[in-house]
Amino acid sequence: MTRIGCLHAHYSNIDYIQTAIGSSEVELVHFVDPGLMSRIASDPEFNRTKAQQKVIEQIEWIAQAGVDVILITCTNYIALLEEGQLSTTIPIIKIDEPFFADICNQSEPQAILFTNPATVAGTMKRLHEYADQHQKTMGELEIHVIENTFDLIMQGKKQRYIDEVSTYLKELLVADQQKRVSVAQLSMVEAAEQVERVMGVNIGNPLKTLKAYLDAMSSTRS
């Protein structure tokens, strides 16, 4: 059985990952630290170097827990990580890379949605770096930040958060039916799936692309 150590920035991500990839063949071991991003936002003395060191410590800690693979589900953690500084040789899966591959493979105009403004710059920087590294030319990209919603999930007001994100998605899809829409954060997946069912549309999300990536990996190994 493969043991995957999952590093999350919020407890709400556990259920998403467990539902998507938990199985009799995979054991998921979850590690959660919501404090790092809060510290970065609130403490001006806690600079990028210190944040990077904290992420490295977390990865090294997980690597010593007897896991076969490490999955990082927080895009901000991924943006901070510099693998050359790691001593572990355990494979690391970054949840945003299969998502980036999906975005880069589309030619039509796209809208990418966020609720956490703090994740936008790092995610988009990594997306463009991924496109450059893989020699991909993306179509038109439009970024939307759904204001005043991310605090809801951090406060445990999950249903209100889902409702706010769902409403925004529906309004966007009705207003512009030509754009392909994706949500960039795991916390937005449940709302996206609800809107998919109601409106009969396809909304990209990092959980969907992660599952497809892991399924492909499993098929290759077998």
What angle do the packed helices 96-104 and 120-133 form, to 10 degrees?
60
Whether residue 73 lies inside any domain: the answer is: yes
Asked if residue 200 and residue 186 are part of one domain, the reply reads: yes
Asked if residue 59 and residue 38 are part of one domain, the reply reads: yes
Q: Per-residue pLDDT tens for 151-185? A: 898 888 999 999 999 999 999 999 988 889 999 99
Asked if residue 90 and residue 7 are part of one domain, the reply reads: yes
> Could you tell me the residue range of the domain that residue 35 belongs to?
2-94
Asked if residue 194 and residue 140 are part of one domain, the reply reads: yes
Asked if residue 118 and residue 201 are part of one domain, the reply reads: yes
Q: Of 70, 94, 118, which closes a domain?
A: 94
pTM of the predicted model as reported, rounded to 2 decimal places = 0.83
Whether residue 186 lies inside any domain: the answer is: yes
Whether residue 202 lies inside any domain: the answer is: yes
Structural domain total, the chain: 2
Q: Which CATH number characterizes residue 189's domain?
A: 3.40.50.2300
Q: Rounded to a whole number, what is the distance in angstroms from the first to the last CA of the chain?
A: 13
Q: Per-residue pLDDT tens for 56-105? A: 888 999 999 999 999 999 877 887 876 567 788 899 999 999 999 999 99
Q: Which CATH number characterizes residue 29's domain?
A: 3.40.50.1860
Asked if residue 140 and residue 56 are part of one domain, the reply reads: no
- Predicted pLDDT at 164: 97
Whether residue 22 lies inside any domain: the answer is: yes
Whether residue 80 lies inside any domain: the answer is: yes
Asked if residue 66 and residue 129 are part of one domain, the reply reads: no
Q: How many CA atoms lie within 13 A of 197 on its CB side?
A: 6
Strand order in the sheet with 92-94: 26-32, 2-8, 69-72, 92-94
Query: What are the contacts of 154-162 at 24+ separation with CB within 8 A?
Result: 154/10, 154/34, 158/12, 161/115, 161/187, 161/191, 162/190, 162/191, 162/194
Instruction: Choose among 175, 174, 4, 173: nearest CA to 183.
Output: 173
Calpha distance 33→50 (Å, rounded):
15
* Amino acid letter, residue 109: P
Q: Per-residue pLDDT tens for 119-149? A: 898 889 899 999 999 998 888 899 999 999 9
Whether residue 221 lies inside any domain: the answer is: no
Contact call for residues 184 and 123 (beta carbons, < 8 A): yes
